[in-house]
Amino acid sequence: MATKSLHKSESQLANSKRQLEILSNGIFQNGELPTFKDKIAESNQFPLKAKKLEILQINVGYMCNQVCEHCHVDAGPDRKEIMSQDTMQQCLEVIKNTGAHTLDLTGGAPEMNPNFRWFVEEASKAGVKDFIVRSNLTIIKANKKYADLPEFFKKHNVHVVSSMPHWTRGKTDKQRGYGVFDKSIDALKELNAVGYGMPNSNLRLDLVYNPSGAFLPSNQASMERDFKKALLEDFGIYFHNLFAITNLPISRFLDYLIASDNYEDYMYNLVEAYNPMAVANVMCTNTLSVSWDGYLYDCDFNQMLELPVNSKVKHISEYNEDLLEGRPIVISQHCYGCTAGAGSSCQGTVA
């Protein structure tokens, strides 16, 4: 289990340029596999273009209480990139005027940003239809100061989306760290206790499933059935929906794929599972990702690869939704992760 981020351990994969080289060399350079650009061109889907904005996703910092093996953010306790209150203020101006129906806060553990609560309180006043916070669950149990988060989320009608790689302790702890499973179960019980995830409750609690290894997620609906049955029978826990998300070959997951000699097989799997129907609804076409320092990206993955939006508008301070619409999406081979099988996005499958 990792204890340090790639950045802290000065791994060469902490460098996004090195990651992009790996994703463009080898099997993609020698023609063994088609590049993502060539693949989408086969179905006349190149260049991918941004449609009307639906989801504004804001990454409020890379600091996290966990160091998950598959993390595409390379988040951890040693990451110091945190969104300032000034940048949050700039985001709030945008949130008040956006046409997006969903506001999605992510991290790291977003709750670790010292201005997180202020930001949620202010943002919730804007009346965005769906206000998501991506919470890793264990943060609720990490320190007394976070213990009231379930009540805080409820007060602001936040839609909680949480990661849970498996319904068994072994698989969960292997991916996310020793003890994570038990803490996550306790946190889910506390969320249920205030009404989150209960049948017919308006307090939305969804879980995210990421495979705990070099394989793709299975059918989202059947995984949801298995998760629901196991969590209810074993722990009396309820939740609403399960989002099955494919691990993209970047950052720590790329490091794992290479170290375990699974990289080529995994890329083959992604390319073989390529689904042109998923391309039509891929999340970068309706989402905008804002980084901790206010820069704009087509998605959280491009943010981590330091591939900014291809638009005149680069920063939240100069935000203009009309100008951003229609921009060509910046792509590389990691994009195969979002078009495999039923597709993958931060909201689950897309096809």
Residue 249 near another protein by CB under 8 A: no
CA 219, 67, 334: angle at the middle one, nearest 5?
50
- Contacts with another protein by CB under 8 A: the residue count is 19
CB-CB contact of 248 with 338 (8 Å): yes
Q: Which of 108, 213, 249, 343 lies at the binding interface for another protein (CB under 8 A)?
A: 213
C-alpha–C-alpha distance, residues 16 and 142, integer Å: 30
Give the DSSP letter of residue 315: B
Nearest by Cα to 71 from 24, 4, 124, 22: 4
Q: Which of 226, 293, 306, 325 lies at the binding interface for another protein (CB under 8 A)?
A: 226
Residue 217 near another protein by CB under 8 A: yes
- The nearer residue to another protein, 97 or 222, going by C-beta atoms, is 222
Q: Which of 3, 12, 157, 222 lies at the binding interface for another protein (CB under 8 A)?
A: 222
State the DSSP H helix or E strand holding residue 191, giving kind and residue range, or none if neither.
Answer: helix 180-193
Could you tell me which stretch among 131-139, 193-201, 216-224, 329-337 binds another protein (CB under 8 A)? Answer: 216-224
* Residue 136 CB, nearest approach to another protein (Å): 20
- The nearer residue to another protein, 217 or 249, going by C-beta atoms, is 217
Q: Within positions 227 to 246, which residues make up the interface with another protein, using CB under 8 A?
A: 227
Q: Which of 45, 89, 124, 218 lies at the binding interface for another protein (CB under 8 A)?
A: 218
CA 103, 135, 203: angle at the middle one, nearest 5?
65
User: Which ranges constitute the DSSP H helices of 236-284?
Assistant: 251-259, 263-272, 276-280
Return the structure tokens found at 329: 């999406």
Residue 211 near another protein by CB under 8 A: yes
Provide the binding-site residues for another protein, judged by CB under 8 A: 166-168, 170-171, 211, 213, 215-219, 222-223, 226-227, 265, 268, 272
